[in-house]
Amino acid sequence: MTDNYKDHKQMPQFPEPYWRESAELPRFNQLEEDIDVHIAIVGGGISGITTAYLLIKEGFKVAMIDAGNLLNGTTGHTTAKITAQHGLIYDELISNIGEEKARNYYDANIEAMKFIQSTIQENHIDCDFSEEDAYIFTNDDQYVDKLKKEIEAYRKLGINGEFLESLPLDFSIKAAVKMNNQAQFHPLKYLKKLIEDITNQGGLIFENTTAVRVERGDRPVIYTRDGHAITCDQLISCSHFPFYDGGFYFSRMYAERSYVIAVKTEKEYPGGMYINAEQPTRSLRYTMHNGEKLLLIGGENHKTGQGIPTIQHYEALEEFANETFGIKDYLFRWSTQDLTTLDKIPYVGRISSGKPNIFVATGYRKWGMTNSTAAALLLRDLIIQKENRYEELYTPSRFDAEPSVKNFLIQNADVAKHLIEGKLEYALRSADDLENDEGSVVNVDGKRAGAYKDEKGEVHLVDTTCTHMGCEIEWNSGDRTWDCPCHGSRFSITGEVIEGPAKRPLKKIDPI
């Protein structure tokens, strides 16, 4: 990083995604009474909104609730690539589940991309949509052969792509795989129109309404934290982590955080969407901001609650951006959390044959724009009892021997390791040691606690035991949150739940 850059630029103090800053979304009231509907949807991201949009068109009375504000979760923090190029996935899928299912995965995501594009065109949505080619590249000799295998998988599956040894970008590579005619957009501007259509057609939307439990039966009943009930014919969980865990999803997925910075650059960005094959990840795309290209650089993924201090991930992206393109203006930074299933394919469909009126959609593995839209289209078809050839591919009840068993054992061994290590860790610091705007695990009266000293010097103390399954949370310095290394629950500085699977806040501790 140049001295000039250090002297004149600095990282934005607080994480705030560009998408939310640049789109005005409607606000909705809390649910304050019992209601009865055909379809109840929990979760106000792209999955829930698209599913509600589709089912309203089928004539159903739909209610959608969100524990916070709409589009403030993963959808509001995405990089918003609309693509079926989901990293090095197709050679792996062919090896694990065969050519037919691998082709179905590609087709489902291409159909989702085309649905988004046609919805934009039919509704004249101004959402910065543009067609872009998508690239996976590498500078690691070990990945060149993997890219060659991936392009061979493209040929087997009929994917429109090519193998390259250079990129339109101004840096050298060893190899790349290109997927032609993909796209990008502003996700919130797109979804704002869908929200308007939902409410204009009588759909009900409630924010700050947390679902806490379900009473199963012929007509499921959702109970909210405030004691209200939603009775429905069909219940769909589109929350990031399923709020109703009828399939032990906490043991069949793992949570990863990744980071994005948005900068204006000295070098001209040529367009296109890029991601490297090796670690650490570097993901690139642009969007327009005040008539100029704003470059979005993402990556630095790691398991939630684990690894180096999270602020260092932002710093690594900043250094890469400045060395590669030159930073003229550093405007935004944010992070996101994504869930990965055992076989890398989302869980979408009925939770189980024994619960035919409860559906789930989750586990998009950082590729939520197309996967979530494909999920909504599948959920619509399942509910109207229309045949959909992707039902078996996405069914949540699947458990293929390879690689699911191996990954199940690996992920749950990691959970057990962090559960034990967290209990044995002894905190040496005290809350008095903290600077303003600093958080840490501290010792309070001989016990482990989480402390954050805000900018005014006030200390906020919480119990560090996650309310999901008792793992010990860790401080996230980049986003000022408490994160669980076992199943990815996240909490605010005062202990409120930001992301599940936890449903209850952390216990507050009175300062001594």
Contacts of 224 (CB under 8 A, 6+ apart): 31, 65, 209, 210, 211, 212, 230
Residue span(s) of the chain under CATH 3.50.50.60 come to 23-78+188-251+344-400
* Strand locations in 307-437 (E): 327-341, 347-352, 355-362
Options 1.20.1530.20, 3.90.1310.10, 3.50.50.60, 3.30.1380.10; CATH of 23-78+188-251+344-400: 3.50.50.60
Contacts of 178 (CB under 8 A, 6+ apart): 133, 134, 135, 161, 162, 163, 164
Give me the pLDDT at residue 7, please.
Answer: 46
Q: Which stretches within 252-405 are classed as H helix?
A: 311-324, 368-383, 391-394
Residue 490 has pLDDT above 80, yes or no: yes
* Strand locations in 46-128 (E): 62-65, 81-82
Q: What is the pLDDT of residues 178-203, one digit of tens each?
A: 999 999 999 999 999 999 999 999 99
Mean pLDDT of the chain: 89
Give me the pLDDT at residue 57, please.
Answer: 97
Residue span(s) of the chain under CATH 2.102.10.10 come to 401-512
CATH superfamily of 401-512: Rieske [2Fe-2S] iron-sulphur domain (2.102.10.10)
Q: What is the pLDDT of residues 366-382, one digit of tens each?
A: 999 999 999 999 999 99
Q: What is the pLDDT of residues 86-100, one digit of tens each?
A: 999 999 999 999 999
Q: What is the pLDDT of residues 293-348, one digit of tens each?
A: 999 999 998 888 787 888 999 999 999 999 999 999 999 999 998 888 888 999 99
**What are the distances in angstroms from CA 130 to CA 316, 351, 364, 445?**
28, 36, 22, 57
Residue 398 has pLDDT above 90, yes or no: no
Q: What is the pLDDT of residues 401-446, one digit of tens each?
A: 455 555 555 545 555 554 455 444 556 677 788 889 888 888 887 7
Give me the pLDDT at residue 407, please.
Answer: 54
Q: What is the pLDDT of residues 48-57, one digit of tens each?
A: 999 999 999 9
Q: Please report which confidence band the pLDDT of residue 9 belongs to, taking 50, 70 and 90 as the band edges.
A: low
